[in-house]
Structure formats: C-alpha cells, structure tokens
Chains A and B, each alone.
Chain A
Amino acid sequence: MDEPKTDGEVSVKILVADDDPVVRRLLSGTLTRAGYDVVAVPGGAEAWQALSGRDPPIVAIVDWMMPEMTGIEVCRKVRETASATPCYLIVLTSRGQTDDLVTAFQAGADDYITKPFATAELRARVSVGVRIVTLQQQLADRVRALEQALMHVQQLQGLIPICAWCRQVRNDGNFWEQVESYLAKRSGLQFTHAICPSCRVKVSQELADYRRA
C-alpha cells in the first residue's frame, strides 16, 4: 500500500481522464482503493475543466487518444497556463515508441504509462507525482516565507543619516528620531537603557555637585 495522504486527513486529489469506461473504472478503482480522492472524467475537455478550476487535482492521468481533446492537448493547455503549484501529468498510452514519448514530454507530460498497465506500477508512478508536487508546494511556501523575511531585512539596509551631535537618525518620513525608536520599529530589537561605568561616575558626581549647590 502506498502512502497517498500528504497533510493530515485531507486525501490527495487525482484526476483520471479516459473515454473508455472500462479503463476509467479500472484506474479509479485502483486509485480509490489506494486512498486517493479520484475525479474521473470521460474526455479531454472535462479534464481541462477540472484542472483549470478551483482546487485542482495535483496529479492527472490522461489518456492520449480521446475524442475532441487528446491527452497531449490537455498537457499543452496545462503548461501554457501559469500556476503556483503545477499539476503532475501522466499520459496513458498504448504507443510506446520513442517518438511518441518525446511528443508527450514535449507537450508537457511528466511521465507516461503504457497500456496494458500493472496496477502496482500505476500506484508507484502516481505516488512519485504526489511526492514531487508536495515537494514543489513546500518549496514554494518556503520561498514565500523567505521573501517576506527578506523584505523585513531590507528595511534596515542602506545609509541612515545620524546626527553627529545628538545621535538621532532621520527616518523615511524625513523626521528625526532616536536610534533606539528607529530600530525598535524596524526590527525585533528592543533597547533597555542602562548607564556605562564612566557615565555612572560622572552622573553620580553631578548629582553630588547638584545637591551641594
């Protein structure tokens, strides 16, 4: 048994597109038993509809030869459309010649399965697709998080004008503010005001002098 579930209890959605009802039933039966959430359609147009809609399947098995819209055309259309998390496309074909496979890959297919197929191989290839798409999603999430962190860091870059006398800094709004306020607003830094030894001696002396006066 493969491990189709990726995150929590949400099952992975797989599209199956084949105009032959027998093959369609075989594919969806095998994948449903493997724990996937299977969406089965009879043609390329329906497949494209499912893949371009909301919450699309992350792996699609499309038969090459289908009336109206072939599996190859579905692959091309999917690849023409930009998506943050691209679908993993498996072409189902009885044509196992090198030229045919090259055509499928050039159209945008990620993998192929030749008919007749062994169900174990089908499950294995689908699980590869799920793994790749999941990795892509995790990578995209990570990139997004890093981009946000980078934006935060960039706020503290560049040349900051600081008054040589009172040490206030000029902010983006052309106002002067304390360096500790400036940094607190733009980073996780917090300052707590202390007094260094030499200033402590000086201030204690000043206090004594002030009291005497």
Chain B
Amino acid sequence: MPAFPTGGPEAEQLPRVLVVEDDPDVLRILTSLLASHPRASTVETAVDGYEALIKVGTFRPSLLILDVVMPKLDGVEVCRRLRANPGTRHIKIVAITGRTDLVKEVLAAGADACLTKPFNFDRMDKELERFLPAADPGDL
C-alpha cells in the first residue's frame, strides 16, 4: 500500500472524490466532512445524477459519495450506468439515502455501501477509510 501524500505538489495524486447531492446544505456538510477527514482527497461536487455522469467522465473520481433520490437521474440509475460501463466499473460508490426502503435497491444496482441519513460521522469515516486508501492506485 503506497503512502498517502498529504498535499502540496503531490495534490494531483490525491484520490478524487465526487460528492453528488441535490441539497446544497447537505452537500456542504458532506464536503466539510471529507475536507476534515484525516485521509486527504480532492473533492468535486455534482447536484444531480446527470451532472454526476458528466463529471465522472471529466474528473475521473475513484470514489463517489452518492445521494439516491435526486432530480433528472437518481442515484440508483447512476449506479447502474457506472457498473454497466467497463470504463467506470471500478469506481467505488458509497450511496447515502434518507429512505431506508431504498437501501436494498441501491446495493443491488451496484453501490459498494449504503448509509442512511441522518448519517453517523463515525460510520461515514469508516466507509471513507475503507475506500480512500484503495482509491486511485494507478496514480499513486
């Protein structure tokens, strides 16, 4: 396991995380949670599933923090499309939903983990630890 660079000139080599959430306030909390996490990452955001798919192509994240109920294209469909495409199949997905009845569906669609809102910081941290070190191994 390669050591993680913490910033500076190696910042480009940090694992890239795309946070997809339609509510701006929840999005801010998620990004500050990532920013304050001991494991550093480069964070980009999207506000719906459609924007998420576009940013997956340009930002090439290794981890997606993905809301499930969203306008235009929901999280379940984003999971399906990422899993169906060989170029995006490797991306780790941590889904987050306020609807407990959607957990099964989103896991079946290909999410690696699914947390429920309101999220527990400890659980979020654990999921980030689980996926961040393994993220972007090619670039490190």
Q: Could you tell me if B121 and A207 are in contact, using CB atoms closer than 8 angstroms? A: yes
Given contacts A193-B23, A200-B25, A203-B29, contact A180 B36 (CB under 8 A): no
Q: Point out the residues of chain A lying under 8 angstroms from B32, CB to CB.
A: 204, 207
Q: Is B112 an interface residue (CB 8 A)?
A: no
The CA-CA distance from A211 to B101 in the complex, in Å, is 30
The CA-CA distance from A104 to B80 in the complex, in Å, is 69
Given contacts A190-B69, A195-B29, A207-B36, contact A178 B23 (CB under 8 A): no
Given contacts A178-B99, A181-B101, contact A193 B36 (CB under 8 A): no
Inter-chain contact total with CB atoms closer than 8 Å = 53
Q: Is A98 an interface residue (CB 8 A)?
A: no
Q: Is A165 an interface residue (CB 8 A)?
A: no
Q: Is B117 an interface residue (CB 8 A)?
A: yes
Q: Could you tell me if B101 and A177 are in contact, using CB atoms closer than 8 angstroms? A: yes
Q: Point out the residues of chain B lying under 8 angstroms from A178, CB to CB.
A: 98-101
The CA-CA distance from A184 to B98 in the complex, in Å, is 13
> What distance in Å separates the Cβ of B44 from its nearest Cβ neighbour in chain A?
20
Q: Point out the residues of chain A lying under 8 angstroms from B121, CB to CB.
A: 206-207, 210
Q: Point out the residues of chain A lying under 8 angstroms from B69, CB to CB.
A: 190-193
Q: Is B140 an interface residue (CB 8 A)?
A: no
Task: From B22, B99, B118, B122, give the contact of A180 (CB < 8 A).
Answer: B99
The CA-CA distance from A193 to B24 in the complex, in Å, is 11
The CA-CA distance from A109 to B121 in the complex, in Å, is 79
Q: Could you tell me if A192 and B33 are in contact, using CB atoms closer than 8 angstroms? A: no
Task: From A181, A184, A192, A200, give the contact of B29 (CB < 8 A).
Answer: A200
Q: Is B109 an interface residue (CB 8 A)?
A: no
Q: Is A194 an interface residue (CB 8 A)?
A: yes
Q: Could you tell me if B117 and A193 are in contact, using CB atoms closer than 8 angstroms? A: yes
- Nearest chain-A residue to B69 (Cβ)? A192
Task: From B25, B71, B100, B117, give the contact of A181 (CB < 8 A).
Answer: B100
> What distance in Å separates the Cβ of B39 from its nearest Cβ neighbour in chain A?
13
Q: Point out the residues of chain A lying under 8 angstroms from B71, CB to CB.
A: 192
- Nearest chain-A residue to B117 (Cβ)? A193
Point out residues on B near A: beta carbons under 8 Å.
22-23, 25-26, 28-29, 32-33, 36, 67, 69-71, 97-101, 117-118, 121-122
**Can you report 15 residue pairs joining A to B where beta carbons are below 8 Å apart?**
A180-B98, A181-B101, A192-B69, A192-B70, A193-B97, A193-B98, A194-B25, A195-B23, A195-B29, A200-B25, A207-B32, A207-B36, A207-B121, A210-B122, A211-B36
Q: A204-B32, A207-B121 are in contact. List 7 more A-B contacts (CB 8 A).
A: A177-B101, A180-B98, A192-B22, A193-B97, A193-B99, A206-B121, A207-B36
